[in-house]
Structure 1
Amino acid sequence: MHQRPRGRYADFQEPYEPAHAARPPNSAPFLPTQRPAVPPRSEHPGPYDFEPAPRRRGKGKRILISVLVILLVVAAGTYFWADSKLRKEVDLSKVIDRPAAGEGTNYLIVGSDSRKGMSAARRKSLHTGGSAEAGQRTDSMMILHVGSHGPTLISLPRDSNVTIPEFRGSASGRIRPAMGANKLNASYAFDGPQLLVRTVEYNTGLHIDHYAEIGFTGFADIVDAMGGVEMDLDKGFTDKWSGADFKAGKQTLNGTQALAYVRTRHAFTGSDLDRTKNQQKFLSALASQVATPGTLLDPFTLYPVMSAGLDTLVVDKDMNPYLLGKMFFAMKDVNSGEGRSMNMPVSGSVGGNLQWDRPKVKQLVDELKNDAPVTVTSDR
């Protein structure tokens, strides 16, 4: 049985006349120039009547464009929402006598022991001690350098013996005299983030580009919003001061446990230096678990995590969500082995405070300023 030609131009092909078909006598054969009339399209199309392919492709393009527009609107809305929640309270332009900026970007990341707004019950559960009105200090301080040779995370022990130099008062705006030798975290206690940045820059010669600080409550809330952070502990330890009570091995830490883990110092012989290593491990693990498709593409996880952090995060006036994201991904790289972490090189102690190894510190800072591979090691 003769099959009707298929395709878009089936109606315009030359009719096929089988050899055995009978034709009336003296009938003229079809000539190539003759075209049969195109029948009108039926209201009920048959198996060979279908929409042309270009129409289907056009519809697919419209759907794709609509999806992209929606994603762009959501992304832009999220960006501006996050930017509006950032507490841009630190004005680095007021820091005096700053070293010249080098290559790469340097973040000063600070964990404060602020209890502001915490109830007595919350302070008890988090083992923070003190009162809601207690003065703030820095529990942890790190410099994160992001450059072309992978990120470098450097912990600054809070008991470091440093010089607090002449500075501009954050409230008065007046120049204040130098305070001389002191603990590094005392600079924050005296005049807050701006004096801390001034002290770090003065004692290292490294320009700080951005500042990020989070308190006890925000830290614990981020971890809880994540559903906990998985850690693999080399050894177990306890500390009644921080509330730490851990066994060795893999485990998921909730917000209270995570805070105890990063604050513990009395359980270690190396005290502050051992604690800074734990802080590096935990923050890198946290960043690694936040910066995953499972979190970033799940709004029911992403928005609670962002909200918990942004509500208590204090940053400099030039910080934005893009730079924060860049900071988190760099910390993730540290955890994955694409970067490195270390303590500020220490040579000994002075009056119970840790003394930095000045030749090593100078070499480290020169490498960071030139965005060269870091070759300096810390022995402790």
Structure 2
Amino acid sequence: MLLSSRGRRVGGRVAIGVVSTLVLAVTGYAWTQLSKLDAGIVTADVIPPSAQIDGEDAVPGEPLKVAQNILLVGIDARTDAYGNPLPQSVLDALHAGSGDDGGDTTDTMIVVHIPAGGAAATAISIPRDSYVDIADGFGKHKINSAYSRAKNASMSGLRAQGLSGAQLEVAANAAGARTAIRTVEKFTGLTINHYAAINLAGFDALSQAVGGVEVCLKEPVHDSYSGADFAAGPQTLSGAQALAFVRQRHGLQNGDLDRIARQQAFLSGMAKKVLNAGTFTDVSKLNSLVSAVQGAVVLDKGWDVLSFAQQLRGMTSGAIAFATIPVQSLSLATPSDGDAVKVDPAQVQQFVRTAISTPAVQASGDDTPGGVKPVAATTTRTPDSKQPATSAAAGCVN
């Protein structure tokens, strides 16, 4: 696989951001803090009205009435949620290079399907180098470039409208998000109802807010590019260490597939840590977590987080099933993008339909927003026997 030393390495940040938001929601505690979160979070107009689900009539404590699909992305950006450049001191602490090194690519892409009832969820990871048709006429490229291609293409028009600085950055980010969403919809066959993104510094703040997350490595690792330097076995990571754990891809036998396994393991550990560590009875921890989410996450404008939270009170950390789309090759030669991950959209869409229609995670029918018809039982492994398992349930990861 074609690798770069700086620009493509922030995978997994979104996992901690969104699981923090969801975990805050499902416990039934701290509704005052959730109200603060709903009022203070950054939003973007990226989901069309036809895909939005009205939650205003939701009754507190009642489950979701229709299935929903959430696209979670981790963006390799050197700006914050408000469009302001991150300080060089922050970038240095995170081994992130300079403000010019980020490519605004979505190096983590996870679709979370929550069925009607909201008692369980399926999180499906998409390798960042999957070679697909990019929406809005950008041609066939790696899926993680959909965001940056649309963002860059929108810049001249936005400048002509008089936008500059942070305002220009925020508006261009929204253009990038819309194309990324449409690309994922076309690729997976799902309608995306909600969108959540997290940037570079957000991962650091969120992981520290919960006091770190326990992970386990099969072997010791040392990677100068990401800053990963860990012993084998279980260990608790936060801040720059946590970011290094989820972004490392150099030195991993299966590249992005191994990194996805780490993302899923971290997401599972994050949910377990927050639910079991007394976070919601510790005022200081809870305030730190809410503040970190506010400064790190961008949500779609139509998402009523508080209503959504109240509908997920029955979910627990064990109610998230992890899966990774099937891939056919990790070294597909492309005309202009170097080596990419070869995928078959028809196979991927069949896999997605299967993954969200298991008895434990029952999908809604086609008559509900984002719904697809349920099919046979799911798997949390890629069906190609040449690919490694990427389920976090396997314990220690590479």
Alignment TM-score, normalising by the size of structure 2: 0.66
With over 3 angstroms needed to count, the CA separation of the structure-2 counterparts of 1:300 and 1:318, relative to structure 1, is same
Of 118, 122, 142 in structure 2, the residue corresponding to residue 183 of structure 1 is 142
Contact kept? 2:88, 2:98, Cα under 8 Å: no
| Aligned equivalent of 1:230 | 214
- Counterpart of 1:115 in 2: which secondary structure? coil
| Aligned equivalent of 2:37 | 82
Displacement of 1:208: 0.9
CA distance in 1, matches of 2:141, 2:311: 33
| Aligned equivalent of 2:352 | 365
AA paired with 1:216?
Answer: L
Moved more, 258-267 or 320-329: 320-329
| Aligned equivalent of 2:291 | 307
Deviations 1:52-106 (A, max 9, x none): xxxxxxxxxxxxxxxxxxxxxx95532331111111114211799xxxxx96221
Answering whether residue 113 of structure 2 is matched by residue 131 of structure 1, we say: no
| Aligned equivalent of 2:56 | none
Answering whether residue 279 of structure 2 is matched by residue 256 of structure 1, we say: no
Displacement of 1:294: 0.3
| Aligned equivalent of 1:171 | none
CA distance in 1, matches of 2:194, 2:287: 24
Answering whether residue 130 of structure 2 is matched by residue 160 of structure 1, we say: yes
| Aligned equivalent of 2:164 | none
- Counterpart of 1:129 in 2: which secondary structure? coil
With over 3 angstroms needed to count, the CA separation of the structure-2 counterparts of 1:293 and 1:272, relative to structure 1, is closer
Moved more, 281-290 or 353-362: 353-362
Contact kept? 2:226, 2:248, Cα under 8 Å: yes
CA distance in 1, matches of 2:94, 2:291: 20
Displacement of 1:272: 1.1
AA paired with 1:250?
Answer: P
Answering whether residue 153 of structure 2 is matched by residue 150 of structure 1, we say: no
- Greater relative contact order structure (CA < 8 Å, 6+ sep): 2
CA distance in 2, matches of 1:223, 1:124: 18
Of 281, 285, 291 in structure 1, the residue corresponding to residue 275 of structure 2 is 291
Q: Which consecutive aligned stretches of 4+ in structure 1 deviate over 4 angstroms post-superposition?
A: 132-135, 324-330, 371-374
Q: Is there any run of 5+ residues in structure 2 with no aligned partner, and where?
A: 1-28, 52-64, 80-84, 151-175, 334-338, 357-371, 388-398
CA distance in 1, matches of 2:272, 2:37: 20
CA distance in 1, matches of 2:70, 2:296: 18
- Equivalent pairs counted in the alignment come to 287
Displacement of 1:250: 1.5
AA paired with 1:129?
Answer: G
- Counterpart of 2:351 in 1: which secondary structure? helix
Displacement of 1:244: 0.2
| Aligned equivalent of 1:240 | 224
CA distance in 2, matches of 1:355, 1:83: 39
Answering whether residue 313 of structure 2 is matched by residue 354 of structure 1, we say: no
CA distance in 2, matches of 1:272, 1:133: 20
Contact kept? 1:144, 1:152, Cα under 8 Å: yes
Q: Who wins on radius of gyration, i.e. which is larger?
A: 1
CA distance in 2, matches of 1:373, 1:327: 26
Aligned CA RMSD, in angstroms, stands at 2.7
- Counterpart of 2:195 in 1: which secondary structure? strand
With over 3 angstroms needed to count, the CA separation of the structure-2 counterparts of 1:308 and 1:327, relative to structure 1, is farther
Displacement of 1:273: 1.2
Alignment TM-score, normalising by the size of structure 1: 0.69
With over 3 angstroms needed to count, the CA separation of the structure-2 counterparts of 1:138 and 1:362, relative to structure 1, is closer
Of 264, 267, 272 in structure 1, the residue corresponding to residue 256 of structure 2 is 272
Deviations 1:155-198 (A, max 9, x none): 111100000122xxxxxxxxxxx121101011011221111000
AA paired with 2:250?
Answer: H
Displacement of 1:119: 1.7
